[in-house]
Amino acid sequence: MTSEHTPNDHHSGLAATALAAMGVVFGDIGTSPLYTMKEVFGGPHAVPITADNVLGILSLVFWALTITVSLKYVLFITRADNKGEGGIMALTALALRTANASPRLLWAMSALGIFGAALFYGDAVITPAMSVLSAVEGLEVVTPLLKPYVLPTTVAILIALFFFQRHGTAAVGALFGPVMMFWFATLGALGLWNVIQNPSVLMAVNPWYAIAFIATHKGLAFLALGSVVLAITGGEALYADMGHFGRRSIKWAWFSYVFPLLYLNYLGQGALILSDPKAVENPFFLLAPSEMLLIPLVALATLATVIASQAVISGAFSLTSQAMQLGYCPRIQIKFTSDREKGQIYVPNINWLLLLTVIIVVLGFRSSSNLASAYGIAVTLTMMIDTILAFVVVRALWRWSWPRAALFLVFFVVVDFAFFSANVIKILDGGWFPLTLGLSVYALLSTWKLGRKLLYERLKQDSIPLETFVASVGHGVGPQRVDGTSIFLTADPDSVPRAMLHNLYHNKVLHERVVLLHVDMEDVPQVPEGERVRVESMDAGFHRVFVRYGFKDSPDLPHAMALCAAHGLTFEMMETSFFLGRETVVRLPLSQRGRMAHWRQILFTWMFRNADTATAFFKIPPNRVVELGAQVEL
C-alpha cells in the first residue's frame, strides 16, 4: 500500500495552515480598520473631508499595505528565515553571522536587535489596550447612554483575557482561524455594501491620488501619515509568526483573502465618509446597514480584538523564552500549556506585568483616539530596524551587490522613515510611552547580558585548567574517590568548575565518575535530537558532556543525560548528584569604579537574586542537587 501525496492533499494542507494562520498572524493588522480612518479624518490632525482628500488617503493606505506589508514583509523579509523561524531575534541572529565584521559593528547590530525586541513589549501592551478599547467603543454608537460602561467593560475583558493565559491557547486555538476568517469576510461584506453606494472610491488604487494629496497638502499630508500608519500595524507579525505556519501559508492567505477584504473595508469607510461626513465619528461601526446589526458587530469586533491581543501576548511569552535562551534575560518560570505544541507557553511574571501595565494604559489614556498617538512610533521604529538588519543579511549572507543592496535599503528606509518621522511629533501626546517602555526593557536585557559576561570573566580569572587537574588526579595526586557519579554544571568546559573546588575544599572527596556538563544555547531555533549531546571521555574517570539547545527548545538535562547512553555513557539517576555553583553578586562601593555603571550593578544584582534557579530551569530533580555558594564582586 503506497502513501503518495496527491496535489489535492498538498493544497488542502496549505489551506488548513493558512486558515490557522488567520487566527494568529493577521489578528493585529485585521483589527486596524476599527480605528485607522477614524483617526485620519477625526483625530488631532484631522484631514478635511473632500473627495480628493478621501481618495488620497485611501490611496496612501493601499500603497502602504502594498509596499510595507506585501513587498517588504510577505515577499521579501520572510525569505530571511533562521531555519524556518522569523522575528526580530531570528533576523538579529542571521545578521550577527556576518563574516569579518568588526566588534563594533557586531555590537551595533546586537544592540539594534535587542532594542527592536524591547519595543515588541510596548506593542504587547498597546495592542490589547488599543484594539479592545476601540471595539468596545462601538457601544457608544449603539447608544450614547452606554458610554460610561466603555472603560469598565474594556478592563473586565482584558482581566479575563490575561487570567485565561495560564490555561493556554490550545483549548480555543482551533476557533481562532474560523472566527478571523468570518471577521475578514464581514469586513469585506460591509465594505462592499458601501462601495456599491459610491463606486468612485475604487479609483484610489491609482497612486496618482496619493501623490497629488502629498503635493497639495505637504504639511497636512505629513501629519496624516502618522494616522495612515495605523493601517499597517501588525505587519511585522507576519514575519514574527512565520515559524508557526510557514512562509507559503502566510503569503497565500494574505494575497488571496486577507489583503483584498481588508482593503475593501477601507474603501467602504471612505465611501461612507463621502456620503455622510458625520460618520467620521466612528466610520467602522456605521458601515452596518442596519442598527440591528450594531450589537452583533460590536460583539464580533470585540472577539476579533481579543484574538489579536492573544497573538501579541503569546508573542511576548515566546520572545521572553528566546531572550532567556540567548542570555539576554534571567531565568524565570515558564509553564508549557500543551503536551503537543512546544511553542505554547505561559510565563506568569510577564503575564501579570503586562496585565498591570495594560490596565494602567487604558485608565490613563481613556480612549482609542488618545492611544493612537502612542501606537505608531514603536511599530515604525521596529520596521525600520527590520529593514536595516535585513540589509546586512542581503549584503553579507546573500552576497547581493552593493548597488542592488543599497537600492533595497533606500527604497524601504525612505518609506519607513516617512512613517516614523510622522509619528515623532506625537511623542509628547503619548508616543513617549512605548519609547520609555522599550528603553526600560532594553536596559534590563543589555544589563543582564553585560553582567553575565563580566561575571563569567571574573570566575574564569580564578579557574584552574581542567587538563592539568585531571592529569594530577590520574597520577594519584588528589583526593579520596567515593562511589557514584557527580555532575558539575560549568560555563567553561576547559576549566575546573568552582563548585568542584568548593566541594573538594569542604568534603575532600571526589566521586569515581565525574562529568563536567556544559550547556550551549545556539542562535538557531531548534537543535535536532540526534545532535543534542556530545560526549568526551578523559582520564581518571572524567567525562565532558556538551549539550546544545536552540532558542526555542525547552532545556531538560535529565533527558539529555539519557541521550548519552548512545555515546557509551549511562546514568543511574539515584546514584547521581548534580553540583551547582550558586554565586552571590556583591556590588562594589560607590567609591570604587567597576566595569559596570553603578546603576547597572544595582539592576544586575537585583535581577541575579530574583532569577529562577538552574535546578528548575533545567528540570533537574531537586533531591539530586547540591548547591555550593560563593561571593563575587563585579
For residues 280-297, give the mean pLDDT. 89
Residue 633, pLDDT above cutoff 80: no
Q: What is the pLDDT of residue 344?
A: 67
Highest mean pLDDT among 158-167, 181-190, 232-241: 181-190
* Tens of pLDDT, residues 2-53: 444 444 444 556 677 777 677 778 888 999 999 999 999 987 888 999 999 9
Q: How confident is the model at residue 177 (pLDDT cuts 50, 70, 90)?
A: confident
Q: What is the pLDDT of residue 323?
A: 84
Residue 476 falls in which region: left (phi positive, over 0), alpha (psi -120 to 50) or beta: left
Residue 152, pLDDT above cutoff 70: yes
Q: What is the pLDDT of residue 2?
A: 41
Beta bridge partners of 345: 336
* Tens of pLDDT, residues 40-56: 998 788 899 999 999 99
Residue 1, pLDDT above cutoff 80: no
For residues 219-230, give the mean pLDDT. 91
Q: How confident is the model at residue 63 (pLDDT cuts 50, 70, 90)?
A: very high
For residues 196-212, give the mean pLDDT. 94
Q: What is the pLDDT of residue 631?
A: 67
- Alpha-carbon distance of 238 to 254, in angstroms, equals 9
- Alpha-carbon distance of 40 to 48, in angstroms, equals 9
Q: What is the pLDDT of residue 169?
A: 60
pLDDT over 70 percentage in the chain = 91
Q: What is the pLDDT of residue 173?
A: 59
- Alpha-carbon distance of 47 to 218, in angstroms, equals 12
Q: Which residues of 192-225 are buried (b: 16+ CB within 10 A; e: fewer)?
A: eebbeebeebeebbeeebbebbbeebeeebebbb
Q: How confident is the model at residue 273 (pLDDT cuts 50, 70, 90)?
A: very high
* Tens of pLDDT, residues 416-450: 999 999 988 888 888 888 889 999 999 999 999 98
Please state the domain extents for the chain. 25-450, 462-633
Specify whether domain 25-450 bears CATH 2.40.270.10: no
CA angle 114, 117, 121 (to 5 degrees): 135
Q: In this structure, are residues 615 and 581 in contact, taking their beta carbons and an 8 Å threshold?
A: no
Task: Measure the N-to-C terminal CA separation of the chain; round to a whole number of Å.
Answer: 67
Please provide the average confidence, as pLDDT, over all residues in the chain. 85
Q: In this structure, are residues 74 and 253 in contact, taking their beta carbons and an 8 Å threshold?
A: no
Q: What is the pLDDT of residue 185?
A: 95
* Tens of pLDDT, residues 469-521: 888 887 766 688 888 899 999 888 888 888 888 888 888 888 889 999 999 98
- Alpha-carbon distance of 553 to 238, in angstroms, equals 22
